[in-house]
Structure 1
């Protein structure tokens, strides 16, 4: 019976050719070429696709005082905005549709002398909502080219570019009502939730001066929030020792280049890899959330297994003993450790 096969037929000469090609790939030179090709494909994906695959992470953290209403906090970090990054700007602008109760920005907004208008315009209506912020190194100084292998050394010498117009950005934020909590303790009420908060300048630059805000937060607050750009353990320890319920940070980029089943290669700070992004615990009572951030340095424009992200954190009441009134002489932090 005549007919055509669904599978191609190989000529007498085709199988030896395939075997020869396989033997070529098995040589050291062939393996190197295959590895180089795979690396090129991976770099193209990390630069052209994943770097722009913005994602919204959602998580719930039990940190509020018993009986409190829930509070929706939008955590934004590490925009590293360039003036021409329209895709990122449009994506950030749409975050206002989430209708967060509070916005917290943990720094590294800028990457260019002309980035301030782009940041302000992309945040848009979010600047009309209650907001808190601190700055990071790339609000103060422009990025510069670096050897990426230096990130594997925690003691490498830091090199900074030209000063950036962080004062203009601060003015734009504060004029719209956001609170700068750099080395300041502040209190505010949002959606019926009383918040005690404080922040430090960027520990990555060793600009943190925790002693300026040291001490337990107001015990009658429904939640206490510490804010820092880089999640350095020395700063996290101080917040935890003072009894803060939650600390928000950025800086790590979630590792930026991660491996499947392994995770981040580095954190670019003293924080351990297991806490490089997302929620975790710090000590007995403090919760930590590290944002993987939305950008990259223009000199390292890639992400792999680590999508750029913002986080919508729903704060809910924690399961802990009820607060004792101040008249009875017992603070909330004292009640927590009983």
Structure 2
């Protein structure tokens, strides 16, 4: 099932589930059933309907947990308010409790509109500062993670321009640059190449690694001739502001042994490596930090989590798809076992069968200022 057809399917399911829940609730209330039982029964009808049609969607699209989330999200933001509205319009008599629940249910509509049409495009700058040894003049790293788009539009170009406007010395793209079928690469690669060329025109030091939705081959096709470098379990070393900087990039679905060897060389584990100077490990998933646990580097940069894409007050993101602690996966600069790690909340959002939303996790471009351990830059 194509994503557009899945959207229509989810809306149809939400309308059906919401209408049935609302109509039966009206009948139960008119029949004198107690409010508490009506609410529980209505919730049960909604839950069963969501599960049944969610399983139906899985049967059509294949096993994909994002499909179930998509069905549940649309039922929650369309079906639940519809049921509440039906009860408010036609249920007489009804208690204050039922009225309050229905009014709360209607609040899901503006939440859904905000999460679908506002927050996913409300790009912010996430600026952090990290003190490191051996740096006298600040070095600014720009992070452009998880564009994860089917094509380059005004939103993606604006993200690049905002990042370049902040004057980074190095730009890193930790995976998921695009998300579409491989047979569309030849058609769509040129627009991504232009985007990379725009970055390289301003910042010659540009590094990419592959993620879940792109590949090393695809990224190399896009970056060919631009001057940007795709790191496939490789290290690149250069001089910047009188500092030797080594960036190692790990490939998500590559050779695990090669990734471990690369990380060991980067961290300087006693082999002929690149221990001196500034050492940065670039990986798509934050789990890349496991490669340097015993011999930490100066910084790990990752994306992948989108900050959870949905984050709840106090609890944080319910779903992060990583092994690092939830507060780390939520995004920003943290430290794990003595190693600083920066996790970007990303520019884009999950595509395919997933609901196109962000809630409580604005998209971001990252700015990491590496300053002298003897004192910050202010």
User: With structure 2 as the length reference, what TM-score do the two structures score?
Assistant: 0.65
Query: 1:120-177, CA deviations, whole angstroms, 9 ceiling, x for partnerless residues?
Result: 333443123211211101113xxxxxxxxxxxxxxxxxxxxxxxxx534323325222
> Matched residue of 2:107: which SS?
helix
Query: 1:219-261, CA deviations, whole angstroms, 9 ceiling, x for partnerless residues?
Result: 321x1001110111xx313223233110000000011101123
Q: Does 1:89 align with 2:157?
A: yes
1:280 offset after TM fit, Å? 0.3
User: With structure 1 as the length reference, what TM-score do the two structures score?
Assistant: 0.72
1:72 offset after TM fit, Å? 0.5
1:96 offset after TM fit, Å? 1.6
Aligned partner of 1:185 among 224, 232, 235? 235
Report the Cα distance in structure 1 between the residues aligned to 2:116 and 2:328, rounded to whole angstroms: 25
Query: 1:247-286, CA deviations, whole angstroms, 9 ceiling, x for partnerless residues?
Result: 00000001110112332122111111110200001212x2
Query: 1:267-317, CA deviations, whole angstroms, 9 ceiling, x for partnerless residues?
Result: 111111110200001212x21000000001233211011100011110012
Report the Cα distance in structure 2 between the residues aligned to 1:305 and 1:173, rounded to whole angstroms: 33
Aligned partner of 1:40 among 105, 109, 117? 109
| Structure 1 residues 240 and 318: CA distance shift in structure 2, 3 A | farther
Report the Cα distance in structure 1 between the residues aligned to 2:304 and 2:193, rounded to whole angstroms: 20
Aligned partner of 1:240 among 264, 270, 293? 293
Report the Cα distance in structure 1 between the residues aligned to 2:238 and 2:95, rounded to whole angstroms: 65
Higher relative contact order (CA 8 A, sep 6+): 1
Which position in structure 1 is the counterpart of 2:68?
A: none
Which position in structure 2 is the counterpart of 1:302?
A: 357
Aligned length: 269
Q: Does 1:26 align with 2:81?
A: no
Matches within 5 A, 1:87-236: 87-112=155-180, 113=184, 114-128=187-201, 129=203, 130-140=205-215, 167-202=217-252, 205=253, 208-209=256-257, 210-213=259-262, 214-215=264-265, 216-217=267-268, 218-221=274-277, 223-232=278-287, 235-236=288-289
Report the Cα distance in structure 2 between the residues aligned to 1:42 and 1:71, rounded to whole angstroms: 40
Which position in structure 2 is the counterpart of 1:332?
A: none
> Matched residue of 2:350: which SS?
coil
Listed as ranges, the gaps of 5+ residues in structure 1 are 1-17, 141-165, 321-338
Report the Cα distance in structure 1 between the residues aligned to 2:164 and 2:355, rounded to whole angstroms: 29
Report the Cα distance in structure 1 between the residues aligned to 2:200 and 2:93, rounded to whole angstroms: 62
Once superposed, what is the RMSD of the aligned Cα atoms?
2.7
| Structure 1 residues 48 and 220: CA distance shift in structure 2, 3 A | same
> Matched residue of 2:165: which SS?
helix
Listed as ranges, the gaps of 5+ residues in structure 2 are 1-87, 269-273
